[in-house]
Amino acid sequence: MYDGESALRRSVTLGARDGTLEIAGEDGETRVAPADLVFIESRTEERVYGRKDVLGWRLGVPEPVAGEIAALLPHAAHYGGWIDRIGLWRASVIGLAVSAAVLFAVYQLPHWLAPLVPDRVMKSYGDAMVGDFGGKFCAGPGGQAALDALTRRLAPDVKGLNVRVVDLPVVNAAALPGGNIVIFNELLKEAKSPEEFSGVLAHEIAHIEHRDVAEAMVRELGLGLVLTTLGGDVAGNVHGLLSLSYSRGAEGAADAESIAMMNRSHISPAPTAGFFERLAKSEDMIGGADMLVYLSSHPVSKGRAAAFRKGAAKGAAYTPALSRDEWDALVDICHNDPDRQD
């Protein structure tokens, strides 16, 4: 035994009397109530106990311990009190269930928090990001009018949409906060028809309708940063926000709404399948650098192309998304803009 006051090791004899542990040694006898004892550890040939009321007090009891004395000594807790009470296997099942619930909550948290982001905050972000593009927006004759007409045809009930073309040589499109959508000029050149482009535009509109932009921002930046980071710091986040990725479920829902939007507008979804099929080839070949820019934020599979092809109703009276002149004006919106010409 060590008394906690000195490093001197004492040999003692243990006994049990009147429900207490009796410790006898050269310095006399000491009685310790079982409630004051705590199990410390098991060693090769002994168990070590301490006292709650005396720091550094230690008592080594050789194995095996006599039954009357053993009844007064605290039991070893191998895993923890509650685990010992219900058993290791039950505790493991409970631990797995709690872990699964926590992971599910973390996964769902952005979806739950997105509606809490005020519209004015989203608009502030969107305005700041749109302003960050500066003079890169294109305004060739007839191009913006054609784009606005197509937007209204696809989503006549969605208010506050602001769709602009940006003169940047990458194949991409992005839904931004506050109802803003930017179309990169190279995407228009990649599209083979206004119907192909309509599917991409409707997909981005669907992300805005479903508040996927707010959800992605919360997931990427955190709710606190979304609610507080405005002003000059927004420009620093533009690159990250342009490459926001959406969950597989959000992408699938945006595709489904895009197809429904096109059918309501009497625009065939089938041509959009061609656009996605070309993207899928780039995905398979790990090539097509321009296309991969779109792939980085819009994961593509052959299944998505099949969904658009299947979404076309047989015998439907589809009409062109834009006239030939309107489509030419939109494709050349940057080329025909005097302010964009070198």
The whole-angstrom separation of Cα 320 and Cα 342 is 34
Per-residue pLDDT tens over the stretch 6-39: 888 999 999 998 899 999 988 888 899 999 999 9
Per-residue pLDDT tens over the stretch 252-309: 899 999 999 999 999 999 999 998 888 777 655 544 444 444 554 555 667 888 999 9
pLDDT at 60: 93
Q: Is 185:330 a contact under the CB 8 Å cutoff?
A: no
Per-residue pLDDT tens over the stretch 150-184: 999 999 999 889 999 999 888 888 888 888 899 99
Does this model's pTM top 0.85? My answer is no
Quick check: helix, strand or coil at residue 183? strand
pLDDT at 106: 56
Evaluate if residue 5 carries a pLDDT over 90: no
- Is the Cα dihedral 113, 115, 120, 124 positive or negative? positive
The Cβ of residue 288 has, within 10 Å, a number of other Cβ atoms equal to: 18
- Residue 222's region, left for phi above 0, alpha for psi from -120 to 50, else beta, is left
Q: Which of these ranges, 117-131, 184-198, 322-336, has the smallest mean pLDDT? A: 117-131
